[in-house]
Amino acid sequence: MSRVSRGGGLGARLLLSQLLVVLVGGATLLTVALGLAPALFRSHLEEVADTLPPELASHVDMAFARATLVSLTVAVTAATLTALVVAVLVTRRAVRPIREMSVAATAVAHGDYSVRVQEKGFGSELVTLSQAFNGMAQHIASTERTRGEMLRDLAHELRTPLTSVRGYHEAIADGVLPADRATFDRVDAELSRIERLVDDLAAVSRAEERGSDLRLRPVQVAELLAGAARSASLAFHGTGVTVQVEGGEGGSWVLVDSDRLHEALMNLISNAVRYTPPGGTVSLRSRAVSSTVKLEVQDTGEGIAAEHLQRVFERFYRVDHARSRSTGGSGIGLTITRALIHAHGGRIHAQSTGVGHGTTFVITLPRCAPASGNV
């Protein structure tokens, strides 16, 4: 703060610099005018010197010099005052958004991420700076909100297995349960749940950070669906659920990281298989809609009630809260999938006509031109 006081503010410096320009300009005007005007006037008088008495010529010369000096002094003074008023107005207008941004930045530094500045200023540079500041503040607010939600979700999800571990510990200590292999196996199961939860959280963080390290290339939609179906057939063999690719607009191309999108599709297929009884089917299809391609993962499973459709992508959210983590999943696979799709500039939503009528997850991605050599 003391440095700012000693150095002066931006407004004062702008005002002084503009005043200095006016004063230098006025001094230059006075010097040039007083240096040239009398000599030029005197040369004109010498041309008519024969018709004017010497006393009159001297008086006229002095009167001109005095009139010139007075006129220039008044003009320079008026110009200086006018320029000073204009400089004050311009400086205030130029400095106001910077001062507001300084106050807002201080508020953000103290934890108030809701503060915003007006996106206007004296020039496009200040407008761009204001927009960049608001974007930064919004991003920080979103990050902090996500962090807070994750911490609350983590505390909630850890509470149940930790309570169970503590209960087993106290029961063993009090002699209620024997310290045998069966008891320790149950404790180990609860610890395994905690480890899976931590691994799931790490997976979400990686998925949300992948927007900056995607290896994008044009990929044919048919190739993506066929690869996902092959992997699913191996991974879910023995479940009694059939994973198949149905006909559609498989000839379209999308600009994606094939590994990351394969991961997203496998998460959707895994979720579909988990809630589809033996003998059911999980179908993969695609269709072109204008400049986009829609990828669909449809199952013949339990379906989702309308009130749950908008929340299935939230962290740790499970439609059936009666399911345990081992039978109902961690409630985080769809969150990872959404993060991966958003990183590709796409969208994802769930559709279901109700419980018992299956579920369809729809991914929307921008279409792109085919890779060179595949046109």
Tens digits of pLDDT across the chain (375 residues): 444 444 456 566 677 777 777 777 777 777 777 666 666 666 666 665 556 666 666 666 677 777 777 777 777 777 777 777 777 777 777 777 788 888 888 888 888 888 888 877 666 777 888 888 888 888 888 778 777 776 776 777 677 778 888 888 888 888 888 888 888 888 888 888 788 777 777 777 766 665 557 789 999 999 999 999 999 988 888 899 999 998 766 689 999 999 889 989 998 999 999 999 999 999 999 999 889 999 999 999 988 888 888 888 877 666 654 444 444 455 677 888 888 899 899 999 999 988 888 999 999 999 998 876 665
Output the six-digit token pair for 214: 């995607």
Q: What is the pLDDT of residue 9?
A: 61
Q: How far apart are CA 360 and CA 300, in angstroms?
A: 9
Output the six-digit token pair for 37: 């005007």
Q: What is the pLDDT of residue 367?
A: 93
Its pTM stands at: 0.55
Spatial strand order in the sheet of 292-299: 242-245, 281-289, 292-299, 360-366, 347-351
β 281-289/292-299 pair status: antiparallel
Q: What is the pLDDT of residue 295?
A: 95
N-to-C CA span, the chain: 65
Q: How far apart are CA 316 and CA 298, in angstroms?
A: 22
Which residue matches tokens 């994750």?
150
Q: What is the pLDDT of residue 347?
A: 95
